[in-house]
Structure 1
Amino acid sequence: MNIKFDPNNAVIKLCMIGMGLEDSGNSEDAITMFHKAWHEATDDYERFIAAYHLARQQKSTIDKLKWMETSLQCAIKINDENVKSAYPTLYLNIAKCYEELGDSENAKRNYELSNSAKGAPSDIGPFYHGTKADLKVGDLLTAGGTSNYKSDLKMNHIYFTANINVAGLAASLAKGEGRERIYIVEPTGEFENDPNVTDKKFPGNLTRSYRSKEPLKIIGEVTEWAKLTTDEQGEWREKLAKNKGEIIN
């Protein structure tokens, strides 16, 4: 199974609406939206995401534990690179629930599972970088440039992703007059999960977004992908305007 995080997925959209309601202090409507997402979920990937958000909303520790364990079981059933980054977060939340319930044995076991699931990303790609820069195969992309989105922000890392939808978004929103481009890249050194997205809205790093201090080597270019409409670009630019630079750079 090869699942890609898609912000246009109906269940993910419902969860994002729920998070918006939550952010505005409307927790009752938020939980209604997460329940709707759960009932409309059609596979384990959608159920794993909906259950995680339902878990976060529970007032009772037992209910929170039940939903977190449901989310974890769905994630394990999927057994896909796209969800493995969520394991440490799910085990950690389960451990905290057991700790609150006074079950130190299960708490300890889940803390250990959370720690053992951590580590450097094991993603093998292919990896992509979206931009408007005109580059060629063999060129190196290096850290130290200015952000694609915030001209006063200097980047200490170079960012890339294994999700072509995310690279397409980065290309669409990048500064410059050139055409949108997605390059296929190869990391030349170690890389880590992008902390600007990891655990921020969804568990783990579902968008498979990474960053490195080492250069990325361009090994090819993607010519066909689903581009954003003008309206979608406008929506994302609005989100970025409200943002403090903590988004796919």
Structure 2
Amino acid sequence: MGKELDEGPFYHGTKADLRVGDLLTAGFRSNYRPEVVMNHIYFTALRDGAGLAAELAAGDQEPRVYLVEPTGEFENDPNVTDKKFPGNPTRSYRSREPIRIVAEVADWTRLTPEALQGWRDRLAAMGDKAEIIN
């Protein structure tokens, strides 16, 4: 576990309006399964992957992508690593330690309304089968 997994840079997608220096921590409800309180904070080394997460996040606010840095050890996200994709092609990670906001990122690819609806439909079709390894 730790930095040997990926050197980054790392990104986090959300609809929250955050400031440089803010710390994101575990203990909040999942954007995809609101009945689940998350034990980890999630991030990725793919800017557009964070953009997808931001677009799919709960709420009506504008989706945002932030450059972040882990403050402690992190591991591959088991929700996508090996369980769904061999290795970690999505470069997705999670940590029990906070991640720090370094900057807001403007140059990420927005989904078309049709593509976004397609993702929402896929998530809805999974329903309770969309188990989260927490």
Percent identity, aligned pairs only, is: 65
CA distance in 1, matches of 2:66, 2:32: 18
What residue is the counterpart of 2:23 in the other structure?
140
Q: Is the 2:13–2:51 Cα contact (8 Å) retained in structure 1?
A: yes
**How big is each residue's C-alpha offset from its partner over 1:181-213, in whole Å with a ceiling of 9 and x where there is no partner?**
001100000000000001133320011000000
Q: Do structure 1's residue 234 and structure 2's residue 126 form an aligned pair? A: no
What residue is the counterpart of 1:43 in the other structure?
none
What residue is the counterpart of 2:87 in the other structure?
204
Which has a greater percent of helix? 1
Which has a greater percent of strand? 2
Shift of 1:122: 2.6
What residue is the counterpart of 1:180 in the other structure?
63
> Equivalent of 1:225, from 90, 108, 112?
108
Q: Is the 2:5–2:75 Cα contact (8 Å) retained in structure 1?
A: no
Instruction: State TM-score, norm by structure 1.
Output: 0.50
For the residue of structure 2 that corresponds to 1:186, the secondary structure is: strand
Distance change in 2, residues 1:148/1:207 (3 Å)? same
What residue identity is the alignment partner of 1:153? V
Q: Provide the aligned C-alpha RMSD in A.
A: 1.6
CA distance in 2, matches of 1:246, 1:204: 19
> Equivalent of 1:216, from 87, 99, 106?
99
CA distance in 2, matches of 1:139, 1:197: 27
Greater radius of gyration (CA): 1
Mapping of 1:119-130 within 5 angstroms?
120=2, 121-130=4-13
What residue identity is the alignment partner of 2:78? P
What residue identity is the alignment partner of 1:194? D
For the residue of structure 2 that corresponds to 1:151, the secondary structure is: coil
Stretches (4+) displaced over 2 A: 119-122, 242-247
- What residue ranges of structure 1 are gaps of 5+ in the alignment? 1-118
For the residue of structure 2 that corresponds to 1:210, the secondary structure is: strand
> Equivalent of 1:189, from 50, 72, 83?
72
What residue is the counterpart of 2:45 in the other structure?
162
Shift of 1:246: 4.2
